[in-house]
Amino acid sequence: MNDAKYQDISMEPRRIIWRVYHTISLLHTSCLFLVIHWQGDMDIASLFGISLTIPFLPPPVLVYWHTPPVGSYKINTDRCVKDGFASRVEIIRDSSGQCVHIFFSSYGECPILQAELWAILDDIIIAQRIILSNL
């Protein structure tokens, strides 16, 4: 039996290597590869002639929560969109840091900007309902 007769030409090692190299080159020249895609494999990227520069990231900044002035309240709220579904959580605290109100809501399927706007509206409505004037 002749093995060459049954060998698929598209599965030759050189052809496979060339196709991988060609695909990676196309992705790189199309700017579809980011530094994060090469994480852990930066040395391999240079074998393909791809020069990666890690973008400058500013140093982390510590953020502290401060109580609001005496007689006023502070709303801390956070929104999230996961798999297209938006939700948020809100905590209202008084000037001593005590929790006055906790609220969670789900906005269903919507983009993050819409969820942000809904959350702002909800914050205003909730503050009016529980008669908080100094936010």
Q: Which of 126, 128, 133 is nearest to 91 (CA)?
A: 126
Confidence of residue 16 (pLDDT cuts 50, 70, 90): confident
**Are 91 and 99 a contacting pair, CB within 8 Å?**
yes
For the chain, the straight-line distance linking the first and the last C-alpha, in angstroms and rounded, comes to: 86
**How far is 55 from 52, CA to CA, in rounded Å?**
9
**How far is 27 from 66, CA to CA, in rounded Å?**
47
Task: Determine the pLDDT at residue 118.
Answer: 81
Task: Determine the pLDDT at residue 72.
Answer: 87
**How far is 63 from 13, CA to CA, in rounded Å?**
54
Q: Which of 67, 73, 132, 127 is nearest to 103 (CA)?
A: 127
pLDDT at 96 over 90: yes
Q: pLDDT by residue (tens digit) across 110-128?
A: 777 777 788 778 877 877 7
